[in-house]
Each structure stands twice: as structure tokens, then as C-alpha cells.
């Protein structure tokens, strides 16, 4: 497995410089996520330049992360705009020479893709998701870069079972899984038993994993219960088991630290390095 980060990057690919790659290498990373703010308006020269600068500096584009309209939206026009955005993102990823293309299932909640809605897991919503993904996978197949879909308790892919079922329903080698067990913590029982959550996720979905996000979760002393993300290494996620399971199914894949401000990333990297050592593993170049 290889070490990467979602962060330490400018907002737009055109702003990437050799110093960007140098900073990433100095903090011990060999991969990074590059955001695609508007796939439908992307310029090939900007993305090819960005990818080359990073490669010249020893950094792989582990994941291309595009912005796009909600692909499960009940409105057909909005849904089709999201599908077109993801299709265009596949081309952008090829210009970057990216390893994976990040996919958010979305939410029916207008507050954002990672917010709850009571109809997110209804059959009609899942059906729209499968239909949209079937329209996108040919574009990923054409460029030879897998779509890495993520799940979580507030979105349509709220369980390991549903992740597996949707991937199998789409039935394309271009649709794979972006592992992130913290997203699947639904209760205190899950929090206290993160090892079981991790093992269940990999038992059902490990063969589809192509990339991973690394973060941590803890609980506030409050009623009702309130769980939130925290600095990697300071919560309840069993990072050692997580890293071992990821290495078993995706030894050449990237583990990407995410959801931290840039000034917190070095501490998270140090804690993750310690977990790698405890797991008896090493980072690959």
C-alpha cells in the first residue's frame, strides 16, 4: 500500500506547481487527490500539465475527485447533468493519469451529498443510482480508470451489503469501492466494536476495493449521543486492522488521509505511520 492525502493542494489544478509536489514529498506522501471543480468545462492542457508536474515531483494522482450534480435526484434533468459530469470526469482523470475516480452516491437532502434523508435508501433511489452508474461506467472503461464509489450511513450505500449489491447490479469491472469504515459507524455499538465494522466491510466488499480514506471517529459526552471525526489516531478506529485488511486486498493501492486542515495532517501522518509499523507493514513508493 502507498501513502497519500486529500489535502495540501491548491483549489484548482491550474494552480499546481513543483512546490506543491515538493511539499507533499516532504511530508512523506507519494500520492494525492486532485479535485476537478467543473469536469464539463475542464481544459485538457491544464490537467495534463498538473499531472505531469506532480509526476515529475514524485507524486501520483491517486484519485481524481470531481464535482457534479446529484445522480440520484428525482429530477431527470439534474440527474442527467450529474451523469454527464461524471462521464466528463473520466476524461479529466485520464489527462491527469489518475489511479481512480471518486464517486459520491449523493443524497436527496439539499444540504449536501453527505447528509441524511429518509428516502436515500428507498428502492426507487437505489434504482436511480444503479441506472446512473450504468450510464457512467462505459466512460470509465474507455479510459481504463476505475470509478471508486464510497458509501456511508447517511447515503444510499449505507451498509456493506448495499455497497456490494449496487456494485454487483451495475456489473462492470470499472465500478469499484473506496473503503472508509468510519463512514459506516451508525451507533455506539459500532463505535465500541470498530474492528468488527472493518472486518465486515472487507469481508463483503474487499474484492472491490481500489483505494481507501483514512480518518478517525470519537464520541462527545452528551445526550443524545453525538459522534464526530477527530484527528487520526485519537479516536476508536482500529487502524491496524484496517491497514492489514487493505494490504491484503489492495497492496498497491493508496491510503489517503482526509478531512483535516493542512496544519493537522503531519500529526495524522505520524500516527498513521505508527499504525503501519504496528501492523507489520511498510509503505511502498
The confidence score (pLDDT) of residue 169 equals 98
Average pLDDT, the chain: 97
Residue 225 clears pLDDT 90, i.e. is over it = no
The confidence score (pLDDT) of residue 146 equals 98
Residue 62: phi, psi to the nearest 5? -65, -35
Residue 234: phi, psi to the nearest 5? -115, 10
The confidence score (pLDDT) of residue 82 equals 98
Which triple of cell numbers denotes residue 185?
459507524
Render the burial of 31-54: b for 16+ CB within 10 Å, e for the rest. Answer: bbbbbbeebbebeeebbbbbbebb
Does residue 267 lie within any of the structural domains?
yes
- What digits encode the pLDDT tens for the residues 6-47? 999 999 999 999 999 999 999 999 999 999 999 999 999 999
Integer Cα distance of 227 and 43 in angstroms: 41
CATH number for position 14: 3.20.20.150
**Residue 197 pLDDT level (bands cut at 50, 70, 90):** very high
Question: In the predicted model, what is the mean pLDDT of residues 200-228?
Answer: 95
Residue 153: phi, psi to the nearest 5? -60, -20
Residue 223 clears pLDDT 90, i.e. is over it = no
**Radius of gyration, alpha carbons of the chain:** 18
Does residue 173 lie within any of the structural domains?
yes
Task: Return the number of other C-beta atoms located less than 10 Å from residue 28's C-beta.
Answer: 15
- What digits encode the pLDDT tens for the residues 173-183? 999 999 999 99
The confidence score (pLDDT) of residue 6 equals 98
Question: In the predicted model, what is the mean pLDDT of residues 166-170?
Answer: 98
Does residue 260 lie within any of the structural domains?
yes
Does residue 120 lie within any of the structural domains?
yes
Integer Cα distance of 67 and 37 in angstroms: 5
The confidence score (pLDDT) of residue 212 equals 98
Does residue 165 lie within any of the structural domains?
yes
The range of the structural domain enclosing residue 47 comes to 2-278
Determine the distance from the C-alpha atom of residue 254 to the mean position of all C-alpha atoms in its chain, rounded to a whole number: 10
**Residue 222 pLDDT level (bands cut at 50, 70, 90):** confident
Task: Return the number of other C-beta atoms located less than 10 Å from residue 72's C-beta.
Answer: 27
**Total domain count for the chain?**
1
Does residue 285 lie within any of the structural domains?
no
Does residue 283 lie within any of the structural domains?
no
Does residue 75 lie within any of the structural domains?
yes
Residue 246 clears pLDDT 90, i.e. is over it = yes
- What digits encode the pLDDT tens for the residues 67-114? 999 999 999 999 999 999 999 999 999 999 999 999 999 999 999 999
Amino acid at each position: 500500500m502507498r501513502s497519500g492525502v486529500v489535502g495540501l493542494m491548491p483549489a484548482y489544478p491550474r494552480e499546481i506547481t513543483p512546490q506543491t509536489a515538493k511539499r507533499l514529498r516532504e511530508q512523506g506522501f507519494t500520492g494525492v487527490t486532485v479535485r476537478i471543480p467543473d469536469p464539463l468545462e475542464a481544459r485538457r492542457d491544464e490537467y495534463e500539465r498538473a499531472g505531469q508536474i506532480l509526476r515529475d515531483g514524485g507524486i501520483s494522482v491517486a484519485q481524481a475527485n470531481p464535482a457534479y450534480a446529484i445522480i440520484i435526484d428525482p429530477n431527470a434533468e439534474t440527474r442527467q447533468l450529474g451523469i454527464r459530469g461524471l462521464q466528463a470526469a473520466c476524461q479529466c482523470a485520464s489527462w491527469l493519469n489518475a489511479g481512480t475516480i471518486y464517486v459520491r452516491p449523493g443524497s436527496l437532502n439539499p444540504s449536501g451529498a453527505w447528509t441524511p434523508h429518509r428516502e436515500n435508501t428507498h428502492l426507487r433511489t437505489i434504482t436511480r443510482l444503479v441506472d446512473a452508474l450504468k450510464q457512467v461506467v462505459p466512460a470509465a472503461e474507455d479510459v481504463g480508470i476505475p470509478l471508486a464509489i464510497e458509501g456511508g450511513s447517511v447515503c444510499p450505500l449505507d451498509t456493506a451489503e448495499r455497497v456490494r449489491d449496487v456494485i454487483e447490479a451495475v456489473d462492470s469491472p470499472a465500478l469499484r469501492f473506496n473503503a472508509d469504515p468510519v463512514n459506516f459507524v451508525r451507533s455506539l455499538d459500532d463505535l465500541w466494536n470498530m474492528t468488527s465494522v472493518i472486518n465486515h466491510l472487507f469481508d463483503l466488499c474487499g474484492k472491490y476495493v481500489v483505494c481507501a480514506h483514512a480518518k478517525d471517529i470519537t464520541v462527545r459526552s452528551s445526550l443524545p449521543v453525538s459522534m464526530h471525526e477527530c484527528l487520526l489516531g485519537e479516536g476508536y478506529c482500529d487502524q491496524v486492522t484496517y491497514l492489514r485488511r487493505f494490504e491484503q486486498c489492495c497492496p498497491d493501492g493508496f491510503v489517503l488521509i482526509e478531512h483535516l486542515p493542512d496544519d493537522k495532517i503531519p500529526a495524522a501522518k505520524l500516527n498513521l505511520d505508527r499504525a503501519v509499523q504496528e501492523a507489520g507493514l511498510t509503505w511502498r513508493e
